């Protein structure tokens, strides 16, 4: 059996619960982000890959040129790499046809947003904590049927309000259904944000 393209952890779960694709933030790990999955839906199968890029030893999903300035070409490449990994992992773990929802924080939310925009054939549902628009001019792909929850802080210095709002606007402009949860804090996942995500996950679960 060939190795999948990304190092990852996989946790089996209930056949009736959505599969969670868990995407860590900068410097995080699959083990870290599994804790988020257990908060969101403990019964779910969980797929937690490791970011393939290193920034001074910190794992990331794509390169950046400076704080808040993304290497857009690399974002596009890494979104494709992650989408291919998800397709292969579905086959490996017998998840074909199952509902799959990405949940990511910060850099993990940004790569989830990129895959949602660029590869809706692979990812059509995502919970994005502390996200911003990952590619400035994504293709005008029809995202009708895609569902996204954005949970961001209004005073987040790393994912500024206007950049998060740009992501919401781009998604809606392409037909995605977007729910917004805004908190008064910064770059964090709040208790209320987790509650909003659990509620959002439930309708089709």
| CA angle 109–150–167, rounded 5-degree value | 75
Q: What span, in angstroms and rounded, lies between the C-alpha atoms of 152 and 183?
A: 6
Q: Which two tokens stand for residue 91?
A: 């086959």
Q: Quick one: CATH architecture of 8-201?
A: 3-Layer(aba) Sandwich (3.40)
Kind plus residue range of the DSSP H or E element containing 178 = strand 177-183
Residue 82 has pLDDT above 70, yes or no: yes
Kind plus residue range of the DSSP H or E element containing 3 = none
Residue 179 has pLDDT above 90, yes or no: yes
Q: Residues 141-147: what's their mean pLDDT?
A: 97
Q: Are 26 and 50 in contact (CB under 8 A)?
A: no
What per-residue confidence (pLDDT) applies to 29?
A: 97
Q: Which residues pair with 127 in a beta bridge?
A: 103, 149
- Phi/psi for 149 (5° steps) reads -115, 125
What per-residue confidence (pLDDT) applies to 1?
A: 52
Question: What value does the mean pLDDT of the chain take?
Answer: 96
What per-residue confidence (pLDDT) applies to 65?
A: 93
* pLDDT tens-digit series, residues 44-60: 999 999 999 999 999 99
pTM score of the predicted model? 0.96
CA torsion, ordered 129, 89, 82, 58, to nearest 10 deg: 70
What per-residue confidence (pLDDT) applies to 205?
A: 38
Give the residue numbers annotated as catalytic, written as ranges. 106, 156, 187
Alpha-carbon distance values, 73 to 8, 27, 79 (Å): 24, 21, 10
Q: What span, in angstroms and rounded, lies between the C-alpha atoms of 30 and 51?
A: 9
Q: Is 145 exposed, middle or buried (0-12, 13-18, 19+ CB in 10 A)?
A: exposed
Instruction: Name the pLDDT band for 203 (thresholds 50, 70, 90).
Output: low
* pLDDT tens-digit series, residues 96-133: 999 999 999 999 999 999 999 999 999 999 999 999 99
What per-residue confidence (pLDDT) applies to 49?
A: 98
Q: Are 129 and 46 in contact (CB under 8 A)?
A: no
């Amino acid at each position: 059996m060939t190795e999948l393209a990304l190092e990852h952890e996989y946790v089996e779960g209930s056949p009736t619960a959505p599969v969670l694709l868990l995407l860590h933030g900068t410097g995080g790990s699959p083990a870290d982000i599994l804790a988020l999955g257990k908060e969101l839906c403990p019964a779910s199968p969980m797929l937690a890959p490791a970011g393939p890029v290193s920034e001074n030893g910190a794992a990331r999903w794509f390169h950046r040129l400076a704080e808040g300035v993304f290497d857009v070409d690399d974002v596009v490449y890494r979104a494709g790499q992650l989408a291919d990994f998800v397709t292969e992992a579905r086959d490996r773990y017998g998840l074909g046809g199952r509902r799959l929802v990405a949940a990511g924080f910060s850099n993990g939310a940004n790569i989830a947003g990129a895959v949602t925009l660029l590869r809706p054939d692979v990812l059509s549902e995502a919970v994005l904590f502390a996200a911003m628009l990952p590619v400035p001019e994504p293709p005008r792909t029809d995202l009708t049927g895609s569902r996204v929850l954005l949970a961001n802080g209004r005073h987040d210095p790393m994912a500024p309000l206007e950049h998060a709002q740009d992501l919401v606007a781009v998604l809606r402009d392409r037909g995605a259904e977007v729910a917004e949860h805004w908190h008064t804090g910064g770059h964090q996942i709040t208790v209320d944000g987790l509650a909003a995500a659990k509620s959002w996950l439930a309708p089709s679960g």
